[in-house]
C-alpha cells in the first residue's frame, strides 16, 4: 500500500494532490495550518480556513487562497480533504486527507482544551497521524487555564492598585488576543500594540468579542495594562521605563529559569499548545496505526511507545543531522 505522504528533504508532501503541509518554501499548492510566521510561505495557492486567510493576508503579499470552512470536504483527484479545528489560534486547522489507501491527519500546532478566542478543538481519528509534540516532556503539565488567568488578573490588579504599570508580553497573534480577552473581560484598563490590535480587529470580524481596549501609545503607559509582542521584552524602550512589572506568557514558564532568560518578573505558563498529558491523550484518541512526531523532544516517541502506540520521529535522526548542520 503506498504511503499517503512523503518527506522531501524536511517538507511534508502529499503526492496524490501535490500538496505541501506547513512548508516554509514557496510551493504551487500549500496547506497553511494557521497564520504564525513559522508555518507561512507565499505559495501560489494556499489552502486554509477563511480566518487563517484573513490573518495571513496581514503578513504575506497578495496570493491566491482556497478557503475551506471547517468540516467541509474538498475533493481533488478522488482524494477527500477536510479541515478540523486545532484550538491553537483563531482559524487554526488540522488537515484530514482520505483516499482509497487510508486516511492521514496532520495536526499543525494544536491545543485540546477550550480557549476564549480559538475555535474548539475536535478530535479526528485517522490511520496515520503526524502530530506536533512541542511540550512532550512530563515537566510540561500546565496548571488549569482558569488558575493561570486568576494569577494573571490578581497580579495585574495588585500592581495597578499600587500605581505600578503592568507590561504583558505575548505572541502578537493568538496569545495576545487571548490575554486581551481575559484582561478587558475583567473590566481592567488595557492598551495593546498596533499589530496586536490589527489582529484583534480580525478576531472581532469572526465573532470574538473583547471588552474595551485602546491602542498603545508610548507616552501613555501609566495606570493600565499594556499588552506587547513578546520580542518587546528585550527592547531598550521597555528597559528605559522607570518602574513597571513585567509578565511574560509562555508554556516555557514551567521552567524556573525562564524569567531570568526572558528578563521579566514572572513567566506564566499560559500556552496555546497541548501540554504533555494532552499530547498523550490526543495520540491515544486518534486510534492511529502509526503516529509520526514532529517539533518536540526525541523522548516523546518513547513515551508513546510505552503507552502501546506505534510512534516514530517524523524526521529520522540521521536525516536531521544531515540537514541541520
Given the rule CB under 5 A, which residues bind Zn ion?
Answer: 36, 109
To Zn ion, the closest distance from the beta carbon of 109 in angstroms equals: 4
Dist. CA 247–CA 168, nearest whole Å: 5
Q: Which is nearer to Zn ion, 19 or 55 (CB)?
A: 55
Q: Which is nearer to Zn ion, 182 or 274 (CB)?
A: 274
Task: Say if residues 138 and 276 touch (Cβ distance below 8 Å).
Answer: yes
Task: Say if residues 224 and 77 touch (Cβ distance below 8 Å).
Answer: no
Q: Which is nearer to Zn ion, 52 or 184 (CB)?
A: 52
Dist. CA 198–CA 193, nearest whole Å: 9
To Zn ion, the closest distance from the beta carbon of 177 in angstroms equals: 13
Q: Which is nearer to Zn ion, 109 or 149 (CB)?
A: 109
Q: Which is nearer to Zn ion, 136 or 165 (CB)?
A: 136
To Zn ion, the closest distance from the beta carbon of 251 in angstroms equals: 12
Nearest Cα residue to 86 out of 66, 115, 57? 115
Q: Which is nearer to Zn ion, 48 or 238 (CB)?
A: 48
Q: Which is nearer to Zn ion, 101 or 252 (CB)?
A: 252
C-alpha cell at 20: 505541501
Phi-psi region of 287 (alpha: psi -120 to 50; beta: other; left: phi over 0): left
Q: Which is nearer to Zn ion, 36 or 54 (CB)?
A: 36
CA gyration radius, the chain: 20
Task: Say if residues 149 and 177 touch (Cβ distance below 8 Å).
Answer: no
User: At a CB cut-off of 8 Å and minimum separation 6, what does 137 contact?
Assistant: 276, 297, 299, 300
To Zn ion, the closest distance from the beta carbon of 88 in angstroms equals: 6
Q: Which is nearer to Zn ion, 97 or 173 (CB)?
A: 173
Task: Say if residues 316 and 133 touch (Cβ distance below 8 Å).
Answer: no
To Zn ion, the closest distance from the beta carbon of 69 in angstroms equals: 21
Phi-psi region of 292 (alpha: psi -120 to 50; beta: other; left: phi over 0): beta
To Zn ion, the closest distance from the beta carbon of 294 in angstroms equals: 13
Cα→Cα distances 31→115, 147, 245, Å: 23, 35, 40
Sheet holding 190-192: strands in order across? 214-215, 190-192, 225-229, 166-170, 245-249, 266-268
To Zn ion, the closest distance from the beta carbon of 96 in angstroms equals: 19
Task: Classify the C-alpha dihedral 293-295-300-302 as positive or negative.
Answer: positive
C-alpha cell at 2: 503506498
Amino acid at each position: 500500500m503506498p504511503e499517503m505522504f512523503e518527506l522531501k528533504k524536511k517538507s511534508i508532501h502529499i503526492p496524490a494532490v501535490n500538496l505541501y503541509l506547513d512548508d516554509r518554501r514557496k510551493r504551487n499548492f500549500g496547506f497553511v495550518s494557521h497564520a504564525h510566521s513559522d508555518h507561512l510561505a507565499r505559495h501560489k495557492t494556499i489552502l486554509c480556513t477563511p480566518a487563517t486567510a484573513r490573518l495571513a493576508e496581514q503578513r504575506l503579499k497578495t496570493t491566491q487562497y482556497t478557503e475551506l470552512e471547517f468540516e467541509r470536504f474538498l475533493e481533488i483527484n478522488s482524494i477527500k480533504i477536510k479541515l478540523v479545528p486545532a484550538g491553537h489560534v483563531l482559524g487554526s486547522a488540522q488537515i484530514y486527507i482520505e483516499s482509497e489507501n487510508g486516511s492521514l491527519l496532520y495536526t499543525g500546532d494544536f491545543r485540546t482544551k477550550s480557549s476564549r478566542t480559538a475555535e474548539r478543538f475536535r478530535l479526528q481519528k485517522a490511520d496515520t497521524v503526524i502530530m506536533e509534540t512541542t511540550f512532550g516532556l512530563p515537566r510540561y503539565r500546565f496548571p488549569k487555564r482558569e488558575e493561570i488567568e486568576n494569577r494573571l488578573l490578581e497580579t495585574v490588579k495588585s500592581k495597578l492598585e499600587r500605581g505600578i504599570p503592568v507590561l504583558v508580553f505575548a505572541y502578537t497573534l493568538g496569545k495576545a488576543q487571548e490575554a486581551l480577552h481575559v484582561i478587558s473581560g475583567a473590566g481592567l484598563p488595557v492598551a495593546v500594540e498596533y499589530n496586536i490590535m490589527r489582529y484583534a480587529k480580525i478576531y472581532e470580524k469572526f465573532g470574538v468579542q473583547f471588552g474595551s481596549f485602546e491602542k498603545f501609545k508610548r507616552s501613555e503607559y501609566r495606570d493600565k495594562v499594556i499588552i506587547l509582542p513578546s520580542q518587546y521584552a528585550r527592547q531598550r524602550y521597555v528597559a528605559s521605563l522607570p518602574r513597571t512589572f513585567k509578565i511574560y506568557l509562555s508554556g516555557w514558564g514551567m521552567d524556573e529559569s525562564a524569567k531570568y532568560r526572558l528578563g521579566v518578573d514572572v513567566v506564566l505558563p499560559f500556552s496555546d499548545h497541548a501540554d504533555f498529558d494532552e499530547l498523550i491523550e490526543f495520540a491515544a484518541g486518534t486510534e492511529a496505526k502509526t503516529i509520526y512526531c514532529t517539533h518536540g523532544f526525541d523522548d516523546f516517541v518513547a513515551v508513546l511507545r510505552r503507552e502501546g502506540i506505534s510512534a516514530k520521529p517524523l524526521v529520522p535522526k540521521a536525516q536531521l543531522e544531515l540537514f541541520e548542520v
